[in-house]
Amino acid sequence: MLWAGVPTEASLPALQIEIYYSSPTGRPLPHLAVGRRARNGRARMKTLLIVVHSLTGGARQMAEAACLGASAEPSVQPRLVSAQDARAADVLAADGYVFATPENLAAMAGRMKDFFDRAYYPVLDRINGRPYASLICAGSDGENAARQIARIAIGWRLRVVAAPLIVCTKAQTPEAILAAKTIGSADLDLCRDLGAALAAGLAAGIF
Ligand SMILES: Cc1cc2nc3c(=O)[nH]c(=O)nc-3n(C[C@H](O)[C@H](O)[C@H](O)COP(=O)(O)O)c2cc1C
């Protein structure tokens, strides 16, 4: 379910629509901008960054489903980037985020944490109010990974737009845990719907 909620001060930058008009010198006055709109008057393309790490394929399938859902929105470009490759510049360039990770040892996967460690301070206070959601692939729990991401997102002053989507693969034995995962179609549908809803909200300027 989406949490559109009442816009807060923190969410305002993502909701703004830039209106440029000419000053006496003919130059635009960006400080009067009250929204995000390209100078040619057309709404600009938005980007949804999906950062993913996956050891045995579960979180990747979830992220790909979210990406597929988001791709149905013509004015939103979903970008699926592995946590290993994702950089602060990718975060700054995006309008919204999906973070997809397994829960390993009661925490988000180390590679996902490494992404946050590298990107955290370079983007701090520069992405306030942008929307995000998290996808967690877990054997039997997933709550701690979700909580960790939520805490980081609070630090970044992101706006959570959906409850963490946790899929449990029920892997308990070492063999099952290390086996390649196949996420069921009902769970993939949820991930796809979440990606579609995030993209629709970005396109409509709700988030
Ligand atoms: C080293 C390791 C630690 C794990 N620890 C947990 C855990 O604390 N809680 C849990 O629910 N699942 C745990 N799991 C199970 C994984 O979350 C599960 O296998 C999930 O499918 C992994 O996602 P992936 O397929 O995207 O790699 C662990 C798996 C590994 C390999």
**Domain of 183: which CATH number?**
3.40.50.360
Predicted pLDDT of residue 183:
98
Residue nearest to atom 30 of ligand 1 (CA): 104
Any domain includes 14: yes
Any domain includes 160: yes
Any domain includes 1: no
Cα 126 to averaged position of ligand 1 atoms, centre (Å): 32
Predicted pLDDT of residue 170:
96
Total tally of structural domains belonging to the chain: 1
- What is the atom index within ligand 1 of the atom nearest the CA of 55? 27
To test ligand 1's pocket by mutation, which of 82, 101, 103 has the most ligand atoms within 8 angstroms of CB? 103
Predicted pLDDT of residue 42:
64
Range of the domain at 136: 9-36+45-204
- Residues in contact with ligand 1 by the CB-under-6-Å rule are 54-59, 102-106, 137-142, 169, 171, 177, 181
Low-confidence stretches of the chain (pLDDT < 70) are: 1-43
Predicted pLDDT of residue 9:
35
Any domain includes 2: no
Any domain includes 135: yes
Any domain includes 165: yes
Any domain includes 4: no
What is the per-residue DSSP string for 126-191? TSTT-EEEEEEEESS--HHHHHHHHHHHHHTT-EE-B--EEEE----SHHHHHSPP---HHHHHHH
Cα 111 to averaged position of ligand 1 atoms, centre (Å): 13
46, 203 contact by CB (below 8 A): yes
User: How many angstroms separate the Cα of 142 from the Cα of each of 26, 32, 61, 125, 205?
Assistant: 55, 44, 16, 28, 31
Any domain includes 3: no
